[in-house]
Amino acid sequence: KQEVTQIPAALSVPEGENLVLNCSFTDSAIYNLQWFRQDPGKGLTSLLLIQSSQREQTSGRLNASLDKSSGRSTLYIAASQPGDSATYLCAVRAAVRRGSTLGRLYFGRGTQLTVWP
């Protein structure tokens, strides 16, 4: 069964720092990997999606990398701001069962980020 782990569980930094959030998964048979942001009591906002054939994706101050063979992804946040404070969830999309083409997400437990002024 696919298991996704995120490190660290929580992170508190001053404004302006460059950050790295880590995600690892146990089964490399994935379709893609998504990074989400979740504010307290809200839904999930998709930040970046990396296909299994890709190595990285960038959006503004965010950069995500994927090493499928080693089962790892990192989310890099440049020049962090207080508005970046949220929980960041990593999820891999994989087949619901062996032989199926229907995909489902497997989530990590998230990294709770606090950026203080």
Partner 1 sequence: DTEVTQTPKHLVMGMTNKKSLKCEQHMGHRAMYWYKQKAKKPPELMFVYSYEKLSINESVPSRFSPECPNSSLLNLHLHALQPEDSALYLCASSQAPPGYSNQPQHFGDGTRLSIL
Binding site for partner 1 (CB under 8 A): 31-32, 34, 36, 41-46, 49, 51-52, 89, 93, 95-96, 100-105, 107-110, 112
Please report, in angstroms and rounded to a whole number, the separation of the first and last CA atoms in the chain: 41
| 82 phi/psi in degrees, rounded to 5 | -55, -35
Rounded least distance, CB 40 to partner 1, Å: 9
Take residue 24 and report the two structure tokens written for it: 């690892």
Q: In angstroms, what is the minimal distance from the CB of 79 to partner 1?
A: 26
Minimum Å gap between C-beta 13 and partner 1 is: 20
Q: Cα(117)–Cα(109) distance, rounded to whole angstroms?
A: 26
The residue (of 76 and 107) whose beta carbon lies closer to partner 1 is: 107
Which residue number, 71 or 110, has a Cβ lying nearer to partner 1? Answer: 110
